[in-house]
Amino acid sequence: MTFDPNAAASPDSGIFGLNDTPESARVVLVPVPFEATTSYGGGTSQGPAAILEASRQVDLFDIETGKPYEAGICMLPLPTFPAAASREPEAVNPISRQVNAWVRDTCAKWLARGKIVGTVGGDHSISFGAIWAHAETHPGLGVLHFDAHADLRHAYEGFEHSHASIMDNVVRRTKIARLVQVGIRDLSEEEHQAIAGSGGRIVTFYDAELAEARFAGETWAQQCARIVAALPQLVYVSFDIDGLDPALCPHTGTKVPGGLSFQMATSLVGAVVKSGRKLVGFDLTEVAPAPDGSEWDENVGARILYKLVGWSILASDRNPT
């Protein structure tokens, strides 16, 4: 049967209503339903399944990126991970190591086969394995980090792979060239000092400073150009949903007033690609579905995911090597 991109998606179809296989798809999505290190609200382990369900309502033609579905997009089956005996670090840390090793190995496997690989969480701690795999595959990689938080705390609450420590782990334990952060509006003094003392390896565009500059007349396009200029040629996007205005993600665990609109965030991703840089991979984390079934958070998450997929494909088309 010929696929009709204008028809309603079948309830048993794959991501975005497609039926691609990992072998046939150009984009492979790795779901990681894990949230053992959340420090406030929970629910992110349900994110991948909720995004899968909501994605079937996304129209496949995108005014900015065209027809990403034509390249083939597949989400792998949801894995299961062992449950920690308690929420104590000595119980959680070994499982976190196991999860991140699995994520790293899974991403590396599909990267080696020439796929564009995206990871869907889960809490933000799961991004470490994905960034690790991409940094090994793409020397000189820069990470563009959307978040309300700097995530530079060292082993927060005793968790080696805390969601609040993800970028500390990335900077210390992988060979990325630079971390560029945007949307940051909640951080500790220690994190602020780590940024200031990084020698330029961490470049943070604080939400308050960006807002003040816009109030004074700087346009978002000008700000995007400044942010993109800080990135190297090869870019990985790590997108914590709470980088957005919390009206767009009201059930995420650690929301903070302020943040980016949907259009601001997606236009920044687009600006990376339009600059000639190559978007080589991405993750989307901290999407927590509403307990009342309103489906708003996963609706927004699914659309962010489709934009990340679309811009990654366009970047690959423009920079095939």
Looking at CATH, the fold of the domain delimited by 21-318 is given as: Arginase; Chain A (3.40.800)
How confident is the model at residue 2, as a pLDDT? 79
98-125 pLDDT, tens digit per residue, is 999 999 999 999 999 999 999 999 999 9
Q: What is the pLDDT of residue 253?
A: 87
Asked if residue 224 has pLDDT above 90, the reply is: yes
Q: Is 272's pLDDT higher than 50?
A: yes
Mean pLDDT of the region 57-68: 97
State the pLDDT at residue 40: 44
| CB of 60 closer than 8 Å to CB of 67 | yes
Residue 41 is predicted with a pLDDT of 45
Mean pLDDT for 64-85 is 94
In the predicted model, is pLDDT for residue 190 greater than 80? yes
Instruction: Give DSSP secondary structure letters for 192-245.
Output: HHHHHTSTTSEEEEEHHHHHHHHHTT--HHHHHHHHHHTS-SEEEEEEEGGGB-
**What does the alpha-carbon distance between residue 132 and residue 164 come to, in Å, rounded to a whole number?**
17
For 146-189, write each residue's pLDDT tens digit.
999 999 998 777 787 787 899 999 999 999 999 999 999 999 99
Residue-wise pLDDT tens digits, 6-60: 999 999 999 999 999 999 999 999 999 998 755 444 578 999 999 999 999 999 9
The token duo for 157 is: 């609450």
Residue 288 confidence (pLDDT) above 90: yes
The whole-number pLDDT of residue 42 equals: 59
The answer to whether 92 and 159 have CB atoms below 8 angstroms apart is: yes
Average per-residue pLDDT for the chain: 94
pLDDT at 321: 67
Q: How far is CA 130 from CA 105, 124, 138, in A?
A: 9, 11, 12
